[in-house]
Each structure stands twice: as structure tokens, then as C-alpha cells.
Amino acid sequence: MKLIRNRKLLEKFLLFLHVLVGLGAMAGGLAAITDPRSPLGITVEALKYSPFRNFLIPGILLFTVIGLGNIFSALMFLIKTKYQGYISSIFGWALVIWIVVQCIMLQAIVFLHVLFFVIGLIQAALSLVLLFEQRLFPANMILNVWEKWEKKNF
């Protein structure tokens, strides 16, 4: 089963998304770390529904998990590791979870939340395509069942 015509293009697009998210998260995280009371003009009043009194811990998490994690994922595309689909998927889903938790804690949704939520979903979906192309778990199980069903019914 062939899902994509140009795997190299898919990998380059995912590489681009991981670099974009990684650099953006590192910049935002660094701003929160260096100015935890008012990073990029956001006051601590925005955190009134969260367990945090300032942006230091969220900044550290944003910088390391989302920022460095996505840069790590991008580097794995350059190295061409067999497990890139898994790595890319982990950090795509991490971004989705980060955005959902952030929206809940801030009790607000702005354009950037929607944009990065969609980017995280795209990362996760395209990573799944890579797993299907390589027939790695769980794609191998799904494809085996599909092929048996096709033989039985056609």
C-alpha cells in the first residue's frame, strides 16, 4: 500500500514544521525564563486560573519539551533514522497537548493557539503516514488485517 508519492518532500515538510515550532517555542520559552513576570508583554494576571504564579516553569517546559524536542525531531530527519515517524509523532502530539492545556489554564483561545494546534495535528498525521510507509507498529498490524480482509473479500 503506497500512501505517498514523494517521501522526501513529506520529510522536508515535516523537517520545516519541526524547525518552525522548535525555534518559536525556544524563543517563547526563553522570553518566559528571562522575564517570568511579563514575557513578551503578557502579565501574570493571565495565569490566574493556572497553578503557576509566574511564567518560569511554563517557560522552561516550553523551551525544553516543545522547543528542544522539535529541534531534536528535525535533527533526526537529517540523520535519517528509521524511527523518525515515532519521534515526529511524539512531538506533534506533545504540541497538541501543550496547546490544549495552555488554553484551559489561560481560559482563552487566540489565533496562535489554533495555528499551532493544527500544526501539531499535521505533524502527528504525517508522522503516521511515515509509519505506514515503513510498515512500523501500529501500522504493520493495521496493514496486515487490511490485506487479509482484501484477500477474503475480493
Is the separation of the CB atoms in 113 and 103 below 8 Å? yes
- Residue 42 C-alpha cell reads as 503578557
Cell 510498515 locates to: 135
Q: b/e per residue, 92-122, with b = 16+ CB within 10 A? A: bebbbebbeebeebbeeeeeebeebbebbee
pLDDT for res 140: 66
pLDDT for res 30: 98
Considering the entire predicted model, what is its pTM? Answer: 0.86
Is the separation of the CB atoms in 67 and 25 below 8 Å? yes
Q: pLDDT 10s per residue in the chain (154 long)?
A: 566 678 889 999 999 999 999 999 999 999 999 999 999 999 999 999 999 999 999 999 999 999 999 999 999 999 988 889 999 999 999 999 999 999 999 999 999 999 999 999 999 999 988 888 877 767 667 766 777 777 787 6
Distance CA 47, CA 129 (A): 37
Would you mind telling me the total number of residues written for the chain in this entry? 154
DSSP 153: H
Distance CA 74, CA 88 (A): 8
Nearest CA among 92, 39, 37, 96 for reference residue 69:
92
Distance CA 64, CA 84 (A): 19
DSSP sequence for 85-142: HHHHHHHHHHHHHHHHHHHHHHT---HHHHHHHHHHHHHHHHHHHHHHHHT-TTHHHH
